[in-house]
Structure 1
């Protein structure tokens, strides 16, 4: 897509929650490890894509999202999972339902503790390593992690497929947001909060409607945040992402890019206000939710941390030399 001639800018987003800076956000040892993971587990990717992912600094993004984890050993599986999820999303959004289902099923087996064969795809071996590093978490936690992963694959990537393939007309913003709530991939990543905290939120609190609404709002905030920060990349790319909310609104309304940006920011801010209100009144809804408040507060750090990471000059996630190229249909996909 050709960039518009009229000047435009994405405003700095703001959040009402405390912001913390991780001691690992600029850790060179963690960066070196990430580059070694790319070399060891993603050898089947083109060298140019491995270099691009290396410039993104995904491990430092994970550190920014979990600023209360100052120990490299505890951060390592979270950073590995950040890398795994990012590449999973980039390389499976154009896959067929059969391809995605098969690789999803095998990933789930490994998440449950199965060991990959020595000749299996590198990403599956990386998933097995991080699963072992997460330690002995209760079975109900694993069930939640897997259910979230499957939901993102089914209601996210698989739901996007017919639109990306031109088989259906693009949905309005409300429909797009419902799909993107899952395809952004945050639901399974939220479970790293339990591993980072060293304690697991009980099942009854995790499944409480107020906690589930909080997590849904966080996903929606993150998708709009992502669409704003990736806008320059989309405009500079030969073909833009159909699922970018700014570009969808501009096409729907026929207005300027600045008008679409303003509307998306306002939408983002409404979700932020709802989440902040919900967080402040959790105990009013149910006294038991006082015990869930620290969990939800720590998930808000994922949003403020990734916002800081997007704005950091240290990440190339959405710079032309950082984002991975689109995978052609029919190309071999990493596990």
Structure 2
């Protein structure tokens, strides 16, 4: 069973001693926002072990910082479920919700969502807490990350509707945004109360690290979730694409994914070593080391979670847990979706 597949990741696994408390807080938070309704749905949601994933990924976060990253990581899965199956084959519906979500960081602080749904209210709350204490540069960068993430859902919806047969290269480019690691990686800085200087963040070396960590995470996820995507008829899975394009068996496709993981991890480690040597003796080195540690915690924590979460278990395929925000959303407050526009004043960029 693909969920039992593991790849060798030479990183030290982290755990957070405050995770149980943050997990209880998160369950209260999702109930308050109406993201999971009813005791049976809540039980299934618990079995996904999402709060464990947040604890693995941010082992040093405490208190309100851990509450924030737990809520932020976990609501990515209710969001993803809005676009599973038939719901994700209607680009106009996906675009409506995605555009609203992308607009949240660009509005005045305290502005309620124009499209009023449990998810938009939850993301508004997460963004408000994420932006607290962060610089204008970080807010602008994180807002753009959100936009790319939400836009990728629309592209996936067009692929589902058209029956697109993706090749490996096209899929990987799309998956790097749709997997949602970008916002999670931005929270490494927010939870740790530090920021990489902009020139360092956008340097080729750091971008290589970010891309490598993203690839390891989505490759592991695709291996663990292949039966889920196959049952739902979703084309967005590298194992399925490799089987189709190369005419190979499931086992051979998984082996190819494993080889990609090994090569990517090797490149990540080499790049990290080179960067830490390059910045030795500088103030940037400590910031860089903390960021690299955060990426490593994410990679190993994601695999640890993916092998045990009931989300990918065969018996849970097709089980509804999350209410449908796409189909049930009411009209927005203005009669139209408002989003970031060129030249607009952005709350993301406000110090």
TM bin (shorter chain): 0.7 to 0.9
State which of 5, 10, 21 in structure 2 corresponds to 1:11: 5
State which of 117, 122, 129 in structure 1 corresponds to 2:125: 129
State which of 156, 160, 169 in structure 2 corresponds to 1:160: 156
Q: Answer whether contact 2:26 2:67 (CA < 8 A) is retained.
A: no
- Residue 87 of structure 1: aligned partner: 78
State yes or no: 1:251 paired with 2:212: no
For 1:104 and 1:330, locate their aligned partners in 2 and report how far apart those are by CA, in whole Å. 10
1:57-206 aligned at under 5 Å gives the runs 57-69=49-61, 71-92=62-83, 94=88, 96-112=90-106, 113-116=109-112, 120-134=116-130, 135-154=132-151, 156-168=152-164, 170-206=165-201
For 1:12 and 1:140, locate their aligned partners in 2 and report how far apart those are by CA, in whole Å. 38
Q: Answer whether contact 2:71 2:126 (CA < 8 A) is retained.
A: yes
Question: How well do the aligned residues superpose, as a CA RMSD in angstroms?
Answer: 3.1
- Residue 310 of structure 2: aligned partner: 316
Aligned length: 320
- Residue 222 of structure 2: aligned partner: 227
Deviation, structure 1 residue 286: 6.5
For structure 2, the 5+ residue unaligned runs are 333-351
For 2:97 and 2:178, locate their aligned partners in 1 and report how far apart those are by CA, in whole Å. 16
What TM-score, normalized by structure 2, do the two folds share?
0.80
Structure 1 or 2: more helix by fraction? 2
What TM-score, normalized by structure 1, do the two folds share?
0.83
For 2:323 and 2:32, locate their aligned partners in 1 and report how far apart those are by CA, in whole Å. 21
For structure 1, the 5+ residue unaligned runs are 1-6
Deviation, structure 1 residue 9: 7.7
Q: Answer whether contact 2:57 2:298 (CA < 8 A) is retained.
A: yes
Deviation, structure 1 residue 49: 5.0
Bigger drift between 49-58 and 212-221 goes to: 49-58
Deviation, structure 1 residue 117: 6.2
Does the C-alpha gap of structure 1 residues 96 and 205 become closer, same or farther in structure 2, counting only changes over 3 Å? farther
State yes or no: 1:24 paired with 2:21: no
Does the C-alpha gap of structure 1 residues 120 and 51 become closer, same or farther in structure 2, counting only changes over 3 Å? farther
Does the C-alpha gap of structure 1 residues 75 and 245 become closer, same or farther in structure 2, counting only changes over 3 Å? same
Q: Answer whether contact 2:98 2:150 (CA < 8 A) is retained.
A: yes
Q: Answer whether contact 2:93 2:327 (CA < 8 A) is retained.
A: no
- Residue 342 of structure 2: aligned partner: none
Q: Answer whether contact 2:49 2:305 (CA < 8 A) is retained.
A: no
State which of 201, 207, 225 in structure 1 corresponds to 2:202: 207
For 2:252 and 2:217, locate their aligned partners in 1 and report how far apart those are by CA, in whole Å. 20
